[in-house]
Structure 1
Amino acid sequence: MAPIPPDEFYARINKTLAGAGAFITDPEGRVLFVKPNYRDHWLWPGGHVDEGEFPEQACAREVTEELGLTLPVGRLLGVHWVPPFRDRPLPLVHFLFDCGTLRDGEAIVLQEEELDEFAFLDVAQAETRMPSYLVTRLRAAIAARNDGTTFYLTGGTPEIPHR
């Protein structure tokens, strides 16, 4: 049997999207989230990893593009495997990096093309603006930062809380 050409082999295997987000807090420990104009819920600053880019590079690039900030990208807090749903036919592997504490939210300049607003939220506030699987990621990220650990999560649902 003849070997399968690489382009044919790779065309047959599963495809996965990669995303990277920034875990940024204020001095009170609330987490920075943004409200994209193309989603019905809030997210961490971040986005998809571009071709030829490492996840931590994508995180830094997205923070600059979305918030107008240059922040150090710290350690990986965790990875979340999210299955396909709605209009996204592929699974997503989301990398969440610790990008420190921002003392002055006034320095943020939102990317108007994609984002409507930002806010520093505690867990209770985030629960009203995010699907439960993202709240699970938030709790895991808080614990990972506090404990110096790393999380790995699977699953997700598109259910959005009613405001």
Structure 2
Amino acid sequence: MFERFTKTARVIVRDGVHLAEQERAALIRPEHLLLAILKHGDTTSAKILAAHGVTTAAVTEAIAQAHRRGGLSQADTAALSEVGIDVDAIVEALESTHGEGALAPARRRRAFGPRWRVPIAPESKKLLERTLREALARKDSTIGDEHLLLALLAEQGVVADILAGFGVTHRTVTAELAQAG
């Protein structure tokens, strides 16, 4: 499948791996791929995100907040509050006992081996498989950065939740790509 990726899409995936390595993440998550897309401002997907006001700083802050809540989306938090569960109070109680970031994804322990051994999270594998389906749906012969963005938006999770807050959804991106031709 990777032979179908454009050079830009391959660079974005590689940069997502590098970002995960730099933060010593235990797994390469979809959030790393989103940040890698934003790193390349001249790509189709980065231009679409920029048009909606999505910045690296805003996404980094939103990811930190989502990780602080243990990955719960805003919708999950709102639903829990409707039944009387205050997620923020629970997070504060956990952090007061176990330290800041108690619900955040695990970090990789210091290792003395090759850097490239950060495993890919199951949701990231699913996402990369989804890029092929997005390309086929658009009748494209290659998988580009725009397919990666569409795949990020098609799957439920932290990234789709964050981008929905900026008004970026699978439907809006599909429409913008169709309009751009």
Q: Compare the two structures and name the one with the higher strand fraction.
A: 1
Q: Which has the higher contact order (CA 8 A, sep 6+)?
A: 2
Q: TM-score when scaled to structure 1?
A: 0.27
Q: Compare the two structures and name the one with the higher helix fraction.
A: 2
